[in-house]
């Protein structure tokens, strides 16, 4: 049976970069955030978002994700409401994807809120990606063209590294990409995953 590696870390830790290393080594990778963007385009999810958050978030029938982010990342209750709409759809999507990749011994599930959503309970192995807070803030400000204050408010909505690490099997420090890549190779060896599985 295919085992699931859960990969998580705080905003700006570089989870997606690490996920890409696993993918390059032949491990199928599922990015929960990409899946969430995809399911949020479905009519049923759009309808639920409209009921919960109102029509003002839509411009020409297109969801303004920046506006929605501003609401949910400043209000824990609103974030919980959004997650209650999106997470079940992502879970269903992942199950279908997992079935398509069942020939692999391991697959990787990358999610920012793996612990907060409770999905970590469905993983066989958990890896937390870390990086110093200042590096993380700098990365997100540059990547999302946002402010330091906005990044900090999003960080407050997530678990801290200590809490994540306490429930993880492996930790990858991603302040140096070369060293982080070496850590991925070590983990693959420990889990005995053959590179470029077929």
Which residues line the annotated binding site?
A: 12-17
Tell me how far apart the alpha carbons of residues 100 and 128 are, in angstroms, rounded to a whole number: 26
CB 119 within 8 A of CB 159: no
**CA dihedral sign of residues 132, 138, 141, 143:** negative
Tell me how far apart the alpha carbons of residues 127 and 60 are, in angstroms, rounded to a whole number: 40
CB 165 within 8 A of CB 171: yes
Q: Which residues are annotated as a binding site for ATP?
A: 12-17
CA 69-70-76 angle, to 5 degrees, is: 80
The pair of three-digit structure tokens given for residue 147, joined into one six-digit string: 């402010």
CB 58 within 8 A of CB 50: yes
């Amino acid at each position: 049976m295919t085992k699931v590696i859960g990969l998580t870390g705080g905003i700006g830790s570089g989870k997606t970069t690490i996920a890409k290393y696993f993918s390059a080594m032949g491990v199928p990778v599922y990015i929960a955030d990409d899946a969430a963007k995809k399911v949020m385009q479905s009519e049923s999810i759009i309808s639920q978002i409209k009921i919960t958050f109102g029509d003002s978030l839509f411009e020409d029938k297109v969801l303004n994700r920046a506006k929605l982010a501003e609401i949910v990342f400043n209000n824990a209750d609103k974030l919980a409401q959004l997650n209650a709409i999106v997470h079940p759809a992502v879970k269903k999507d992942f199950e279908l994807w997992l079935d398509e990749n069942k020939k692999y011994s391991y697959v990787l599930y990358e999610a920012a809120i793996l612990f907060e959503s409770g999905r970590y309970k469905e993983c066989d192995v958990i890896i937390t990606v870390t990086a110093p807070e200042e590096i993380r803030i700098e990365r997100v400000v540059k990547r999302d063209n946002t402010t330091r204050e906005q990044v900090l408010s999003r960080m407050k909505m997530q678990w801290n590294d200590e809490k994540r690490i306490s429930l993880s099997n492996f930790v990858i420090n991603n302040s140096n990409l070369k060293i982080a890549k070496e850590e991925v190779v070590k983990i693959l060896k420990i889990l005995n995953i053959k590179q470029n599985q077929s």
